Chain A
Amino acid sequence: MRYVKWAFWTVIVLVVGGFLHYTLPQHDIVRVVGTYQERQDLTDWTRIFWSTPDDQSGTLTNRDVQFIQAIRANGKPMVYRNEDTGWRWPPYFKFDTATLQTQADDLRSTAEAPKWAVVTHYGWRNQFLSIFPNAVGIRPVAGPDVRIIPWVNIVILGGLLVLILLIRAMWRQFRERTIEPLIDEAADKWDELGDRAEAMDGKARGFWARLVGRGRK
């Protein structure tokens, strides 16, 4: 039973943690080396890792997607997709894909004369599934060692914690002020019924005793 409980909580933590890790913004310090646009087939299950920029793109089997190629500060390559999120999930409300592509092109540099930039993105890169994180913003920075404080994540996770505590407090208040009085009332009624039944029982017994007593006489 203990293992079942552990397994349950592990799955919950993995799902919630994975969801947040995929959805919340992250920052990479990179050097942009190129951009390209490629037709993508969007019919298998990995469709969930691509955006639906507008309603008509929801029914398309393939369409062009823009990409940003970059080398991270640690020397490893990273490729971002650059897609509108529109009014859908995740709520980045990104409509400036073409502008972002232009900015990325403008920051393009070589290893000899690097221009460093911070790419804000969400999502995962996976070579086997051919999925890419979605870049949502880019800005130049002084060098590869700048320190970035993830204020947005601090605020979102803090807000989420407040929301969970609020819902817990609401539930406790509801239980204390609404459910428990009802249970007490029901318990009182039950006791009352019990008392009455006992009284009836006593009466019935008396009646029976009288009857039987008389019969025996």
Chain B
Amino acid sequence: MIGFLRFAVIGLGALTVLFWLVRIYARSLRREALEEHWARESAAGVDLGPRDAYVEAGMDDYEHGLTRRLVWLVFLLPIAVFAVVVFVMNYR
């Protein structure tokens, strides 16, 4: 039992670190894409309004969108793999 707790704490700790890293990374990619889109459209003569306001509005959409929730797969996939491994190893 202690063994399982130790495994769970270490495993969830590592996943939490990875989760935050991926979350920050994904957000950064989105912001960069918004900035580049604004620059490209502005260069082509399209008026998207002030740069900062455009980027912040885009980030606001992102924070409430579906793609951001996909980052939770960082937790879900390894836990699913763990469950499958335990089942296959001991019950088949």
Contacts and interface: CB of A to CB of B under 8 A. Distances in A.
Q: Do A and B come from one complex?
A: yes
Interface of A: 54-55, 86-88, 91-96, 99, 136-137, 166, 169-170, 173-174, 177
B3 interface: yes
Nearest to A58: B3
A93 B85 contact: yes
Contacts of A93: 82, 85-86, 89-90
A88 B89 contact: no
B75 to A, nearest CB: 15
B72 interface: no
B85 A92 contact: yes
A42 to B, nearest CB: 18
Contacts of A136: 89
B3 A55 contact: yes
Given A55-B2, A87-B3, A173-B25, A96 B32 contact: no
Q: How large is the interface on B (under 10, 10 to 19, 20 to 34, 35 or more residues)?
A: 10 to 19
B28 interface: yes
Given A87-B3, A87-B4, A93-B86, 16 more contacts: A54-B3, A55-B3, A86-B3, A93-B82, A93-B85, A93-B90, A95-B89, A166-B22, A169-B25, A170-B21, A170-B25, A173-B25, A173-B28, A173-B32, A177-B28, A177-B32
Contacts of B85: 91-93
B64 interface: no
A188 to B, nearest CB: 20
Interface string B16-36: 000001100100110110000
23 contacts: A55-B2, A55-B3, A86-B3, A87-B3, A87-B4, A88-B7, A91-B82, A91-B85, A93-B86, A93-B89, A94-B89, A95-B90, A96-B90, A99-B90, A136-B89, A166-B22, A170-B21, A170-B22, A170-B25, A173-B29, A173-B32, A174-B28, A177-B28
